[in-house]
Amino acid sequence: MAELMRGLEGVIAAETKISSIIDSQLTYAGYDIDDLTENAQFEEVMFLLWNYRLPNQQELAELKEKLFGYMTLSPRVYSHFEEYTTDKVHPMTALRTSVSYLAHFDENADDNDQAALPERAIRIQAKIASLVASFSRVREGKEPVKPDPSLSYAANFLYMLRGEKPTDVEIEGFNKALILHADHELNASAFTARCSVSSLSDMYSGITAAVGSLKGPLHGGANERVMSMLFDIGSLDNVEPYLEKAFANKDKIMGFGHRVYKNGDPRAKYLKEMSRKITEETGQSELFEMSVKIADILEKEKGLLPNVDFYSATVYHSMGIPHDLFTPIFAVSRTAGWTAHILEQLANNRIIRPRANYVGETDRKYEPIEAR
């Protein structure tokens, strides 16, 4: 019997050209994450993940036009959100349901023909931004905001969410955050998406399954809990007493450490810088200073380094984004990677069907119910 590897740790389950983590460095289709974060638009990264190459000017313009064209949702979807708000549904629960509901408006949803799939990836990527932004507005009793053709994908999300055009610093920060979260090799949600479509189910099912996986607190949601921690701490002077108590109680400090990165998350430095810029612009610099102090103490006392979630919390908070939208925003970005994995899985598909080591009882005999 094969050796059991709990959580499939160390098991190679797929070959991919989408992204890699080698020697603690993340790359997308061979491009260093540093290079892309400093120079690329999120739309370019979408195209890269789907096609393993960067777009030319015409291809990028066509992609942006298609994304804008698909962003507006059916009025039935907007009204559908009203059913969720009465029960105070978490946005990830609403997103899981609404992604599945999107399939109702795609008459070719079950078509897994290779020629049709790339367009469906664009369609889903466009609409997931609108789903998150519109749900947030509807639950607040506000009218959904339609996208603006003059804005980028990152800027349009913030515009549809808040109803006002974002600043240049906010656009830069959000664009970087989307790029940094777009894919991460064979993580739990990407593997879930591949498992789902390996049965030749449709792309909407794959994305719905991935959203369900991301909803779990061991995958998504750490940055939401980072903000809760910062609010609990309350001030720069209270950082050390808070952490001393947490260490004594062996409480987990959110936003630190990573299953794959042992020498620090290469994405964290960009969000740290954006946190500095945006908190300064919005007059909330103490949040950044608290974060830096926490990180310094964690590194000195525990040898732990911040991951991508730690500084993204203050980036999103400083943009006025509700904390329970942090994980749905993760999904908005990661949809680029999920759809890329689905395209790759279906291009050379074999149903994913691992084995399990049976550890239960054996040689048991059926007894009539009267004798049990």
CA dist list (Å): 175 to 134, 179, 214: 19, 6, 21
The yes-or-no answer on residue 309 being catalytic is yes
Cβ–Cβ under 8 Å, residues 310 and 256 = yes
CA dist list (Å): 67 to 6, 62, 64, 152, 228: 40, 9, 5, 10, 34
* Listed residue (147, 179, 234) closest to 40, CA to CA: 179
Q: What are phi and psi of 117, to 5 degrees?
A: -65, -45
The helix or strand, by DSSP H or E, that contains position 137, with its residue range, turns out to be helix 117-139
Amino acid identity, position 84? Y
Q: How many C-beta atoms surround the C-beta of residue 261 within 10 A?
A: 18
* Listed residue (103, 106, 317) closest to 231, CA to CA: 317
CA dist list (Å): 366 to 358, 369, 371: 19, 9, 10
**How many helices (H) and strands (E) are present in the chain, helices listed first?**
16, 3
Active-site option among 265, 309, 317, 341: 309
In whole angstroms, what is the distance from residue 317 CA to residue 255 CA? 15
Residue 111: CB partners within 8 Å, gap ≥ 6? none
Active-site option among 258, 265, 317, 341: 258
Q: Taking CA 318 as the corner, what is the angle to CA 315 and CA 322, rounded to the nearest 5 degrees?
A: 95
The yes-or-no answer on residue 258 being catalytic is yes
Amino acid identity, position 237? D
The helix or strand, by DSSP H or E, that contains position 22, with its residue range, turns out to be strand 19-22
Cβ–Cβ under 8 Å, residues 282 and 324 = no
Look at phi and psi of residue 235 and say left if phi exceeds 0, alpha if psi is from -120 to 50, else beta.
beta
Catalytic residues: 258, 309
